[in-house]
Amino acid sequence: MGISRRQFLGWLGAAGAGATAVSRAEAASNKQFGGYPDSFGILHDTTRCIGCRKCEEACNKVNELPVPEQPFDDLSVLDQSRRTRSDVFTVVNQFRKENSQLPVFVKNQCNHCLEPACASACFVRALRKVKTGAVIYDESLCVGCRYCMVACPFNIPAYEYNEALTPRVTKCTMCHPRIEKGLLPGCVESCPKEALTFGTRERLVKIARRRIQKYPNAYIDHIYGEQEMGGTSWLTISGTTFSEIGMREDLGTQTASSFTAGPLAAVPVVVALWPVLLTGIYAISKRKDKIADEERIHAVAQTVADANEEMQVKLAKMKDSMAKEKEAAINLEVKRALEDAAREAAESQQVSEGTGSETPKEEK
Amino acid sequence: MPQETAQVNKSIFTPFNVIAGMIIFCGLIITVLRFTGGLGAVTNLDDNNPWGIWIGFDLLCGVALAAGGYVTSASCYIFGLKRYHSAVRPAILTAFLGYALVVMALHYDVGRPWRLPYPIFLSPGTTSLLFEVGLCVFLYLTVLFIEFSPAALEWLGLKKIRNLVVRLTLVLTIFGVILSTLHQSSLGALYMIAPSKLHPLWYSGYLPVFFFVSSVFAGLSMVIFEGSLAHRHLHHKMDETHLKESEGVALGFGKAAAFVMMGYVGVKFIGIAMDNNWHYLATGWGLWFLLELVGFVVVPAFLYAIAARDRNLRLVRWASILAVLGVVLNRLNISVVAFNWHLPSADRYFPSWMEIAISLFVVTIGVVVYRFVTTRMPIFYEHPDYEH
Amino acid sequence: MDALFYTLHDFLLHSKSITYMLMGAILLGLLLFWLFLSGRDEKKRTF
């Protein structure tokens, strides 16, 4: 009858064994995150870039984007500062240093952050960081809320505002499909000056460091993207101050996810504690009302009882005084009657003494 | 044929109806443009400014100003302040319409509105605060619908269902406060992901707290403000209880709002102190920030306080207008004014007239439906069958 | 145990998804527990 202790312990053991069958990552609780091992990146050396825009052309071809009005060999577009657009995944911009006639050219595109703000912001998981290092977009899920565009500190994602029913968010894909096939990204392959180098991010950081070490006068001693926003797959080295070539230096090293982790963490606490707090306030308020009601009823009853008592005392007093009055009145009447009788007796005696013997003296 | 209602005797071309009609007509045309030409055909949004007034005003202000629903029902049913009971139904109606209109406005702003169920039912992006906002708004709209339904059920004469729903009042109110706390604060938290884009005087780790606290006095102020409008135009629909309680509601809510607003001012200064941003106050942006905080929070708070002390109904009503404008200003500052403050002025955003027209269209629909409901259903009066 | 999350994003996605489901359970659980707790109180007047 009933479960034996042995059986119970046996079940516990089986349950425990079952729990360990859960996927290994899901059982992890590590607090340090090193990124996908051997994920790829691109190193952009702006000292080598000549602004030929071949990378833009290759990107356009590989992604089958519409051919622009101004051809890619038209370098006059560099006179304007451009940003990515819905049909332009990468742009090369020109910057002129103050004390130099030599322009600096910088390629701009999605940096494929290690902890992408866009992926963190996307409420439908349409943007994801994958093993190759690319941050890719799934147009079959995207609702078009554009929060990813708000989130991206580099202002990269663009939107097809002129599409009525199937607008997409667009950005560089790091040529993820090509990488998976063992090919180079289109821009890297087409660059004639090796201003773009493809490799694992770890190797690229080392290459960049070595290059800076070897030519300290040619480079600013900083690899942009190594730590910015928690690190990006796209790394840039330059001979010019980064903020002067359109790359913000005030973004900090914290990941975008960490900015929203705080509020996100508060949500479940509100859900768990507010019901207790609010129901508690309700219960206290209700109890207060109930006690107030009871006190009121009690007070009313007390007042009625007191009033009754007072009334009784008054009534008794009245009864008393009424009885006294009655007695006094009776006494008065009796006194009067006696006085009347006495007077009458005195009067009749006088009469009988005054008249003689005509009247028979019946009294004798 | 006998006349059915007194309204048939009057012409339907009242000034209000004409203006509302024109706005709605315009809105319908722009709707067609939006869904045939895309957002680009109708808005001034671009790749640098993905969110405009449909988010900044329709969503952010709409949600903040609809907060009267949870605030009023909480004060009556949770805190037990029964003298505010007559204010509950109008507040719940406003909140329900407000949130319904927010969802409607989202259908314009979002690229593929038919996919709005995706984050909840297909692919939840749980790392995102927008997911949290979406889930909460969806649930809260449901709660509000149920909280509103007794009025409609009474109108339809469905006694049994109505009595069943009324028994859910407390649970729904508590759930409503939880959901409201979450999504009001999360709307603020949305902007925490972009510290590089929002001016430091408005960006803070306390954004969720700012948004939640301001939603409380936004709700209180809207109840006062709408109450004053309703008294002017819908007086004939109000029963004795409502009329008797209305002054107490306005003064009581004004007093509460004054206190909450001062707490808000304190937290705002704490935000500045914690990030050591005092020096920004001495800039042009600082002046604008102080205008928003002092002119539109401190001043109405004091007006509320004076009105509460002197039992001055007129002053309370004027203060409520100022307070509501202050919340609107705050939401617009965060979403479109102080957002992207770094960008050169050529790249800054200003709404197109069509965006403004759609926002106006959405508000107008709200007012029209509000009028329809309050003139037919027991909102400002108690249905005779259910009086207790 | 060398199983781990490679990115903070993956970690948050996983932990938050579980947490959201837990939130639903907590709400339901607290409601049921409250009904149990106040089960023998006097019947309250309806509004």
Q: Based on the fold, state whether residues A296 and A203 are members of the same structural domain.
A: no
Output the CATH code of domain B16-381: 1.20.1630.10
- The answer to whether residue C1 scores a pLDDT higher than 50 is no
Q: Based on the fold, state whether residues A302 and A176 are members of the same structural domain.
A: no
Q: Based on the fold, state whether residues A207 and A179 are members of the same structural domain.
A: yes
Q: Based on the fold, state whether residues A216 and A244 are members of the same structural domain.
A: yes
Buried residues in B88-98 as b, exposed as e (16+ CB within 10 A):
bbbbbbbbbbb
Lowest mean pLDDT among A88-92, A360-364, B39-43: A360-364
How many domains does chain A fold into? Answer: 2
- The answer to whether residue B237 scores a pLDDT higher than 70 is yes
Q: With bands split at pLDDT 50, 70 and 90, how would you rate the model's confidence at B385?
A: confident
Domain residue limits, chain B: 16-381
Has residue A243 been placed in a domain?
Answer: yes
Supply the ipTM of this predicted assembly. 0.93
Q: Based on the fold, state whether residues A233 and A313 are members of the same structural domain.
A: no
- The answer to whether residue A61 scores a pLDDT higher than 80 is yes
**Could you tell me which chain B residue has the CA closest to the CA of C21?**
B126
Angstrom CA distances, A206 to A198, A218, A235, B35, stand at 13, 17, 11, 51
Q: Based on the fold, state whether residues A83 and A219 are members of the same structural domain.
A: yes
The shortest CB-CB distance from A271 to any of B123, B134, B178 is to: B178
**Could you tell me which chain A residue has the CA closest to the CA of C24?**
A271
Please name every residue paired with A169 in a beta bridge, in sequence order, or none if there are none: A159
Q: With bands split at pLDDT 50, 70 and 90, how would you rate the model's confidence at B9?
A: low
Has residue A336 been placed in a domain?
Answer: no
Determine whether the interchain pair C6/A119 forms a contact, defined as Cβ–Cβ distance below 8 Å: no
C neighbour chains, 3+ CB pairs within 8 Å: A, B
Q: How far apart are CA A290 and CA A281, in angstroms?
A: 14
Average pLDDT over residues B115-143: 97
* Residue B93: predicted pLDDT: 97
Instruction: Determine the structural domain holding residue A129 and report its residue range.
Output: 34-254
Q: With bands split at pLDDT 50, 70 and 90, how would you rate the model's confidence at A31?
A: confident
Has residue A338 been placed in a domain?
Answer: no
Q: Based on the fold, state whether residues A230 and A299 are members of the same structural domain.
A: no
Length of chain A: 364
Q: Is C47 on the interface with B (CB under 8 A)?
A: yes
* Residue A117: predicted pLDDT: 97
Has residue A240 been placed in a domain?
Answer: yes
Lowest mean pLDDT among A24-28, A160-164, B10-14, B129-133: A24-28
Angstrom CA distances, C18 to A175, A246, B126, C24, stand at 33, 41, 9, 10
* Residue A21: predicted pLDDT: 44
Average pLDDT over residues A323-327: 93
* Residue C4: predicted pLDDT: 83
Determine whether the interchain pair C13/B167 forms a contact, defined as Cβ–Cβ distance below 8 Å: no
Residues of chain A neighbouring C43 (CB-CB closer than 8 A) = none
Q: With bands split at pLDDT 50, 70 and 90, how would you rate the model's confidence at B383?
A: confident
Average pLDDT over residues C14-18: 92
- The answer to whether residue B24 scores a pLDDT higher than 80 is yes
pLDDT tens readout for residues B136-178: 999 999 999 999 999 999 999 999 999 999 999 999 999 999 9
**Higher-confidence residue: A149 or A14?**
A149
Q: Based on the fold, state whether residues A110 and A189 are members of the same structural domain.
A: yes
Please name every residue paired with B129 in a beta bridge, in sequence order, or none if there are none: none
- Give me the percent of chain B exceeding a pLDDT of 70: 97
Distance, CA of A63 to chain centre: 38
Long-range pairs for B261-267: beta carbons < 8 A, 24 or more residues apart: B261/B217, B261/B297, B261/B298, B261/B300, B261/B301, B261/B304, B261/B323, B262/B298, B262/B301, B263/B213, B264/B210, B264/B213, B264/B214, B264/B217, B264/B297, B265/B293, B265/B297, B265/B298, B265/B301, B267/B206, B267/B209, B267/B210, B267/B213
* Residue B386: predicted pLDDT: 79
- Give me the percent of chain B exceeding a pLDDT of 90: 92
- The answer to whether residue B375 scores a pLDDT higher than 50 is yes
Q: Based on the fold, state whether residues A179 and A241 are members of the same structural domain.
A: yes
What is the interface size between B and C, counted as CB pairs within 8 Å? 24
Residue-averaged pLDDT of chain B = 94
How far does the CA of residue C7 sit from the closest CA of chain B (Å)? 12
* Residue B222: predicted pLDDT: 97
Q: Based on the fold, state whether residues A129 and A240 are members of the same structural domain.
A: yes
Has residue A230 been placed in a domain?
Answer: yes
How far does the CA of residue B87 sit from the closest CA of chain C (Å)? 15
- Give me the percent of chain A exceeding a pLDDT of 90: 82
pLDDT tens readout for residues B47-89: 999 999 999 999 999 999 999 999 999 999 999 999 999 999 9
